[in-house]
A and B are shown apart, each in its own frame.
Chain A
Amino acid sequence: MSNPDPSKMKQDCPEKNECLKMLQLILDGEATSEQKDHFLKNHLEECMPCYKNYHLEVAIRQLLKTKCCQDAPQELVDDIKTKVINNLAR
């Protein structure tokens, strides 16, 4: 996606909520390539609310990934392995 010219963009989207749903389908990898092409190439560059929504959705996903994933404590991992191995021995 290139950088669109804000002055040429619509400031209002009549179907903002439907567009948001489509946007989420696309970002979730669940949209068809036609839906994707139409939305990303045609709609997004001319519609300010949807353009903003796109960047917001992407930013939230990035933030979730960097801030909401924690690894299992190593002690717990070892513990589980040991329990299963003991289980095998029985």
Chain B
Amino acid sequence: MELEENSPKQNYTEAEKQTIFHGEFMPHINSMYNFAYRLTLDADDAKDLLQDTYLKAYRFIESFQKGTNAKAWLFRILKNSFINDYRKKSKEPSKVDYQEVESYYNSEEVDRQITPDLRVEALKDMIGDEISNALNALDVDFRTVIILCDLEGFKYEEMAKILDIPIGTVRSRLHRARNLLKEKLSEYAKQMGYKTA
């Protein structure tokens, strides 16, 4: 999982490197692109981020142990590159804002307030970009956990490693994220004429 420090360096021949790159890294390129796109919300940035990540992965290939979880390893590199190279220059809210947001959404009070009344029938009519827009509208940290869990099927433990946060935080952040997503979706449902009880 580690990119630089504390991982035993492997010694690969050039042929082995190629095999790993093509056999273990490239199969995740579509998931990785989608992650890059959902983080940056910009096709050009996503392209650069994906390219940087894959070149970095190749450069640090000896920190990767053959046959281990390549997808999680790659996702972690991409997420770190995003934070270091893209998040700074984008208009995303700063870390401070985010912590306020998170502590707000971690209060039990909000759980009681947010009980989005959303019906399955309304979802069935969302055949356009509604869900995609709703997802993109979430704060990037909430968006990220939904992508990792619901789109990519990572386990909580893997998510904790990718994001460098405790498992408990993964669980609570995911719960808040889903409430927020439902909130957005019920706004769309309302616009579509579904009444909320």
Contact = CB atoms under 8 A, between A and B. Distances in A.
A81 B26 contact: yes
Give the dominant DSSP class at B's interface. helix
Contacts of B55: 80, 83-84, 87
Interface in A5-57: 16-17, 20-21, 24-25, 28-30, 52, 55-57
Contacts of B132: 67-68
Nearest to A77: B29
7 contacts: A28-B155, A64-B151, A69-B30, A71-B33, A76-B47, A77-B26, A80-B50
A51 B66 CA distance: 44
A55 B14 contact: no
B51 A83 contact: yes
Interface stretch (B1-9, B70-78, B89-97, B177-185): B177-185
A68 B55 CA distance: 26
A2 interface: no
B29 A80 contact: yes
Give the dominant DSSP class at A's interface. helix
Contacts of A20: 175
A70 B151 contact: no
Interface residues of B, number: 47
Interface in B105-159: 111-112, 115, 118-120, 123-124, 126, 129, 131-132, 135, 146-147, 149-151, 155-156
A85 to B, nearest CB: 8
Interface of A: 16-17, 20-21, 24-25, 28-30, 52, 55-57, 59-61, 63-65, 67-73, 76-77, 79-81, 83-84, 87-88
Contacts of B119: 52, 56
Contact of A60 (B14, B32, B58, B185): B185
B87 interface: no
Contacts of A67: 126, 129, 131-132
